[in-house]
Structure 1
Amino acid sequence: MNQSAEHTDLDDAVIVALGSDLPGAYPSCIDLLEAALDRFAAEGLEIVARSAWWRSAAWPDPSKPPYINGVVLVRSRLDAASVHRALQDLEAAFGRERGEANAPRTLDLDLIAFGRQVIDTPDLTIPHPRAHDRLFVMGPLSQVAPDWRHPISTGTAADLAAAATVGRDAKPI
């Protein structure tokens, strides 16, 4: 499913990237990701647009299982820190175990942007510090909000997708 953000004010967009390379208790990673999206509303996150699912090799170790990724735009009454906590709670509910960086995982939920806010605390960095260089994030984002502008670089999602150097093999399924 691919829904556009035509009627969303992109200056207020709350952008969440989703990823999985371990299906956990689900038949597939896509089933797990769909189940996670079904729980967003209960966490105070209303999905207003979503990308198609994209597949890419695991990064930085392509010998690990491939990733399924996507992006959603959400609306929420929560502040950025509360949205971040809600996403971490969802990850835990779906069996996410934190350990080695970039290790395979059931569910990875990253808060990419929270409107035009720039936040840099020990617990939260917004916009996400590496998302702009990842095709598996900017590609899906450019599907739903190609004109979204990065709060710091001001590059559009479409331009950032074209320039991304990480995950260049990412493609919509």
Structure 2
Amino acid sequence: MVVIALGSNLAAGFASCEALLETALARFPQAGLPVLARSGWWRSTAWPDPTGPQYRNGVAVVEANGDPRAVLEALFSIEATFSRVRSARNAPRTLDLDLIAHGRELIDAPGLVLPHPRAHERRFVMGPLAEIAPDWRHPVSGQTAAHLAEKATIGRDAQPL
């Protein structure tokens, strides 16, 4: 199971962040990432600076025949089409696509760590994942998405729209 988190807090010319995220998600199949399941959109306060624009987040489970680096490159390519600029860490962004897990693979290499090293702490990732795959198990801890969503410490205010 390949898990991808989607997020946005800058609509960048779209009617809303949700519209931007829907458009980005529609590009996944063209990038070789057919969507098998997807969550609804969730909202949460900007983190770590709560004065920033509110976030919209979701999760997609995709089919990916390529290795994790190829998936990551496809995600970067989609982000680029939405004018994603990587500036300061946790800065507002048009589109953020994170590779959360690629099956049960464990990788700790420059530019790629799997599973995502902080996803299990974030309700705005684990909540949407639990919505579509509550029994998904974290490749390291073995805890389910449903359990991780309940105990997440970051983005506790995240909730479905």
- Report the TM-score when normalising by structure 2: 0.99
RMSD between superposed Cα atoms in Å: 0.5
1:58 Cα deviation from its structure 2 partner: 0.3
Distance 1:141 1:123 in 2: 23
Correspondence list, 1:100-139, <5 A: 100-139=88-127
Corresponding residue of 2:4: 16
Aligned partners of 2:18, 2:137: CA distance in 1, in Å? 28
Deviation at 1:133, TM superposition (A): 0.5
Q: Are positions 1:53 and 2:41 aligned together?
A: yes
Secondary structure of the 1:73 match is strand
Equivalent in the alignment of 1:32: 20
Paired with 2:129 and 2:123, the residues of 1 have a C-alpha distance of 9
Q: What is the aligned counterpart of 2:55 among 67, 74, 81?
A: 67
Task: Give the C-alpha shift of residue 110 in structure 1.
Answer: 0.2
C-alpha separation in 1, matches of 2:115 and 2:38: 19
Percent of residue pairs identical: 59
Secondary structure class of the residue paired with 1:113? strand
Residue type of the alignment partner of 2:35 = I
Q: What displacement does 1:35 show?
A: 0.4
| Mapped partners of 1:82, 1:152: distance in 2 | 22
Deviation of 1:127 (Å): 0.3
Query: Offset at 1:33?
Result: 0.3
State the AA in 1 paired with 2:100: I
Residue-by-residue CA offset, 1:58-91 (whole Å, 9 max, x unaligned): 0000100000000000001111000001101111
Deviation of 1:27 after TM superposition, in Å, equals: 1.0
Alignment counterpart, residue 98 of structure 1, candidates 75, 86, 103:
86
- State the Cα distance separating 1:168 from its structure 2 match: 0.2
Q: Which runs of 5+ in 1 are unaligned?
A: 1-12
Q: In structure 1, what residue type is equivalent to 2:122?
A: R
Structure 1: distance between partners of 2:13 and 2:102: 31
Identify the residue that residue 69 of structure 2 maps to in structure 1: 81
Does the residue aligned with 1:87 lie in a helix, a strand or coil?
A: helix
Looking at structure 2, the residues matched to 24 and 70 of structure 1 have their Cα atoms a distance apart, in angstroms, of: 18
